[in-house]
Amino acid sequence: MPVDLRRFIRDVPDFPKKGIVFKDITPLLGDRAALREALALLSRHFEGRGISKVVGIESRGYIFAPAIALSLGAGFVPVRKPGKLPYKTASEEYALEYGTDRLEIHVDALQAGEKVLIVDDLLATGGTASAARRLVEKLGGQVVGSGFLVELKFLDGRSRLAGIEVVSLIEY
Amino acid sequence: MPVDLRRFIRDVPDFPKKGIVFKDITPLLGDRAALREALALLSRHFEGRGISKVVGIESRGYIFAPAIALSLGAGFVPVRKPGKLPYKTASEEYALEYGTDRLEIHVDALQAGEKVLIVDDLLATGGTASAARRLVEKLGGQVVGSGFLVELKFLDGRSRLAGIEVVSLIEY
């Protein structure tokens, strides 16, 4: 019987600030059956697509991307906040509620033509996933899909990922 | 034939500051065979010990801990920097080169008596792993081992993890 993943998401009111109800995924991560189910569902969806790299966005994307890479027989590529990657990087800016931030990728993280899956815990406005996509494309990679544990539908992040498949396991 | 993991570690001089040679693990992560081998070696070593939770230390510990948890049939527990975990936390301080920092864990991340494996990418002075151990013990968990991809032997982090098994795949 499939695991009801939604049951393992905890609402935490007023985090990170007053008025926000935070979707806490840690009860899901801590449950062996729910963790296994979530990783299996995301992996299975992208099997047989020739994906050779799975990109995880710092830091919660790292929780899912390497295990999915292992399952797909792909390598794992970290996308990080500025100044964290030690080697030469490419960089992309994205909008925050107030101001902007940047994400970086190592310039040799993938070869031109490689098929890439982008993974994160949460699809909200799509700003970070979209920046990660531009980073992959800058290196000549082809983003074939993106996978998320949770999607906040009302923020319509999908519209910023036009042309690539978007899979999420739990929608709000 | 086993993969020579050391071959996938890249020396980056003067990172994060002048005079430091940084051990860059991203070439290993990006190679599907090396990634699989590293995760398999760490997992296999801790099979059959009754481990029910694998703790990963933010953020590079997240790259390894969930895949190892999956392999061991355990849940994954994140240990994070202050203010990042949304629910009630326990906190432990550790020493930096100059000053101190803190790590946090959710107070309900594990039950008293659970057997726990701590995972991170790098064992250096052992400060963060030792703080993670104290966090687990605060909640009544029993740390049975710790696993690292890289160990900097000359910093003798093992001496701060006395009483628990320490496994590393690549030593310098």
**Separation in Å, CA of B136 to nearest CA in chain A:** 14
Q: Is B172 on the interface with A (CB under 8 A)?
A: no
Mean pLDDT of B69-95: 97
Mean pLDDT of A22-42: 98
Mean pLDDT of A122-136: 97
Residues in A closer than 8 angstroms to B87, CB to CB, are 10, 12, 24, 26
Mean pLDDT of A20-30: 97
Can A171 be counted among the known catalytic residues? Answer: no
Whether residue A31 lies inside any domain: the answer is no
Whether residue A32 lies inside any domain: the answer is no
Whether residue A1 lies inside any domain: the answer is no
CATH of the domain at A145: 3.40.50.2020
| Contact state of A66 with B67 under an 8 Å Cβ cutoff | yes
CB B47 within 8 A of CB B41: no
What ipTM goes with this model?
Answer: 0.96
What's the domain range around A94?
49-171
Q: Is B56 on the interface with A (CB under 8 A)?
A: yes
pLDDT digits (tens, 9 = 90+) for B17-51: 999 999 999 999 999 999 999 999 999 999 999 99
pLDDT value, residue B17: 93
Residues in B closer than 8 angstroms to A85, CB to CB, are 26
In sequence order, what DSSP letters do the residues of chain B get, joined into one string? ----GGGG-EEEET-SSTT-EEEE-HHHHHSHHHHHHHHHHHHHHTTTS-EEEEEEETTGGGGTHHHHHHHHT-EEEEEB-TT---S-EEEEEEE-SSSEEEEEEETTSS-TT-EEEEEEEEESSSHHHHHHHHHHHHTT-EEEEEEEEEE-GGG-GGGGGTTSEEEEEEE-
Q: Is A81 on the interface with B (CB under 8 A)?
A: no
| Contact state of B78 with A56 under an 8 Å Cβ cutoff | no
pLDDT digits (tens, 9 = 90+) for B87-114: 999 999 999 878 999 999 999 999 999 9
Q: Give the best residue of B29, B107, B108 to mutate against chain A (max A CB count within 10 A).
A: B29
Is the N-terminal amide bond of B82 cis, ω within 30° of 0?
no
pLDDT value, residue A1: 65
Whether residue A85 lies inside any domain: the answer is yes
pLDDT value, residue B2: 79
**Catalytic annotation, pick one of B60, B134, B158, B160:** B60
Q: Give the best residue of A3, A29, A85 to mutate against chain B (max B CB count within 10 A).
A: A29
Whether residue B37 lies inside any domain: the answer is no
Whether residue B137 lies inside any domain: the answer is yes
Domain count of the fold of chain A: 1
- Which residue in B30, B56, B64 is closest to A77 by CB distance? B30
Q: Is A39 on the interface with B (CB under 8 A)?
A: yes
| Contact state of B35 with A69 under an 8 Å Cβ cutoff | yes
Can B60 be counted among the known catalytic residues? Answer: yes
- Where do the H-state alpha helices sit in A55-170? 65-72, 127-138
Q: Is A44 on the interface with B (CB under 8 A)?
A: no
d(C-alpha B127, C-alpha B103), whole Å: 11
Whether residue B26 lies inside any domain: the answer is no
Residues in B closer than 8 angstroms to A59, CB to CB, are 58-59, 62
Whether residue B120 lies inside any domain: the answer is yes
- Which residue in A35, A59, A76 is closest to B59 by CB distance? A59
Q: By CA distance, what is B67's nearest residue in A?
A: A67
- Between A25-29, B93-97, B165-169, the lowest mean confidence (pLDDT) is in B93-97
